[in-house]
Structure 1
C-alpha cells in the first residue's frame, strides 16, 4: 500500500510514507466531509490518533469546542492519554493539534479519567468497505481502544471513523483478529462509506496476545494486569471463606 501511494504521487510530508499512517493529498477535504456527518456533529469528546493525515480533524474538533484525547506515544506512561480541552488552550489550538504541541499542552490522564468518549478517529494504512482495517503494525490503536473499553469510556456502539485516500480502500478481504478494532465510517475526499461492519469491537485487553516485552514496556498494562490478578485472588479467598466454590481465574487471554 505504501509503495502504491508513493507511485501514484499522493503522499505528503512526513516522508517516507512507509511504516507510517500515510499522509495523503486531500486529507483536509476528507476532514471536512467527516465533519459534516451527524456522528461528528453530535460528538463532544473524541479520541484521535496523533498522525499527520488526521491533524485537520483534530484542529477542527478543537475549534468547534470539542475535547480531544490523544494517546501518549507507545503508551509509555501510566497516564497514557493526553486531554486537550479547548477552553484551557486559548489561542494555542493550532499547536495543540500537532504531535509535539499535544505532548506539551495536553494534560496526562489515566484510562479511568477519560470519561465517556463519543467518537474515535483512527488512522489507517488500508481499509475495506466491510470495516476491516490495517494500521501501521504496532497494534497501539487496538490497545488504546481496549484500555478505554475496560475503563468503560467506550463500548461496542462507539463509532470509529477513519479518513483515507481512495486508493487505501481495498476490494480485498483484510484478515481481522479478536483484538483488531473495525471501523464504522470510512471517509475519503470524495465519499463516505458506512461499513455496517459485522466485525465485533474488542471487549478488553487480550492478555495472551501481548508479548512479555511489550507488557513490561507499558506501565499502564503491567499495573492493570497486577490489579486484575489481585482482584481474582481476593475473590477466590472470599469464596473460600464463605464455603463457596472458588472462582476459577479466567484463562490467560480472556477479556
Structure 2
C-alpha cells in the first residue's frame, strides 16, 4: 500500500500506480493493448491468491448470481465462479454490446474457461445477451458485485481508467432493482494499487454522486473491510452523462426508452381522459425515449 504524500490529482495517483505496476513487474500485459493501462485494467501476479480470499467470504458463498466486471484481473474469478456453479453477469468491453449472462448450467464444463474470457463469452452456446427489459426475468437479485481498479483509496473510492463503466453498469442494475445500497461491492487489486488516504488529503478520494465505493478491498495477502461511505441512492444520472456515452452504449438508450414508457404509463394511471397534446416540441431526451419505445414495441433488441 502506498501513501499519499502531498495533495495532487487523481490522474497523478493513477499514473504513479501504473508506474509501480511496471516497476514491480506485477502487471500482466493485454494481448491487444500491451501495457497501455488507460485501455484496460491489468491482471497482476498474485491475483489468484486474492480470488481465494474472496471466495471464502460469506457474501460470495451465499450469492447465486454475481456481477463481475470484464477486467483482465477478474478473468480467474469469472472462471472460478462458473466452476462453483454461480451465474456470472458481466458486460462486453466498454458496454458496447451490453450485458452478458454466463450460466454454468447451460455451458459445457470444458467451455467454462472460454466463457470467462472476453473473446469467448459471446460465442454460440456460451453467454446470453441480456437486454434491460429482460433483466428481472432472467437475472433477479444480484448478491455481490466485483470490480478491478486502476487504483483505489483505502476509503473504498476507486480510480479506474476514467471512463466510469462500472458505475454505469451499477446505475443500470440499480435502476432495475437488481442491486441496492446494501449489495456488497468488492475490488480485487494488487497491493501497490491501494493508496492510503490521509485525513488532510481525503479530498482527492471523495465520491462523486455516481461513484460506487467498495465495501471490500482484496489484495493477495489481505482483505480490507471498508465502512462509512454510502452508495448512490439513484440509478443513471442522465444529466451527468457524456454525449458519446449515450450514443455508443445502446443499453443506456434502451433504459431511457423504458423509463420514458414507464413515465407515460404512470402519468396515465387513474386518468381516463386522453392526454392533451403538448403545445411545445418534445425535447431531445423525449424524442430518444419515444424512438426507443418504438423499437421495444416492435420487439427489436437495442
Q: Which residue of 2 aligns with 1:32?
A: 52
Q: Which residue of 1 aligns with 2:130?
A: 109
Contact (CA 8 Å) 1:126, 1:133: kept in 2 or not? Answer: yes
Q: Which residue of 2 aligns with 1:68?
A: 88
What is the DSSP-based 3-state SS (H/G/I as helix, E as strand, rest coil) of the residue aligned with 2:120? helix
Alignment equivalent of 2:235, drawn from 192, 201, 204: 204
Contact (CA 8 Å) 2:65, 2:139: kept in 1 or not? Answer: no
What is the DSSP-based 3-state SS (H/G/I as helix, E as strand, rest coil) of the residue aligned with 2:82? helix
What is the DSSP-based 3-state SS (H/G/I as helix, E as strand, rest coil) of the residue aligned with 1:222? helix
The Cα of 1:232 is off from its aligned counterpart by 3.3
What is the number of residues matched between the two proteins? 241
Alignment equivalent of 1:10, drawn from 26, 33, 37: 26
Flag the structure with larger Rg.
Answer: 2
What is the DSSP-based 3-state SS (H/G/I as helix, E as strand, rest coil) of the residue aligned with 2:208? coil
The Cα of 1:231 is off from its aligned counterpart by 3.8
Give distance in 1, aligned partners of 2:268 and 2:257.
17
* TM-score after normalising by structure 2: 0.74
* TM-score after normalising by structure 1: 0.87
Give distance in 1, aligned partners of 2:192 and 2:257.
43
What is the DSSP-based 3-state SS (H/G/I as helix, E as strand, rest coil) of the residue aligned with 1:103? coil
* Structural mapping, 1:196-235, within 5 Å: 196-233=227-264, 235=266
What is the DSSP-based 3-state SS (H/G/I as helix, E as strand, rest coil) of the residue aligned with 1:117? coil
Deviations 1:13-51 (A, max 9, x none): 223052121221101111111111111111111111112
Give distance in 2, aligned partners of 1:13 and 1:76.
22
The Cα of 1:238 is off from its aligned counterpart by 5.7
The Cα of 1:234 is off from its aligned counterpart by 5.0
Deviations 1:91-125 (A, max 9, x none): 21111111111121211012324311111111111
Q: Which structure 2 segments of 5+ residues have no match?
A: 1-16, 274-284, 286-302
Moved over 3 A (4+): 229-242
More displaced, 227-236 or 133-142? Answer: 227-236
Q: Which residue of 1 aligns with 2:3?
A: none
Give distance in 2, aligned partners of 1:57 and 1:213.
31
Give distance in 1, aligned partners of 2:112 and 2:258.
37
What is the DSSP-based 3-state SS (H/G/I as helix, E as strand, rest coil) of the residue aligned with 1:82? strand
Cα gap change, 1:107/1:231 in structure 2, threshold over 3 Å: closer, same or farther?
closer
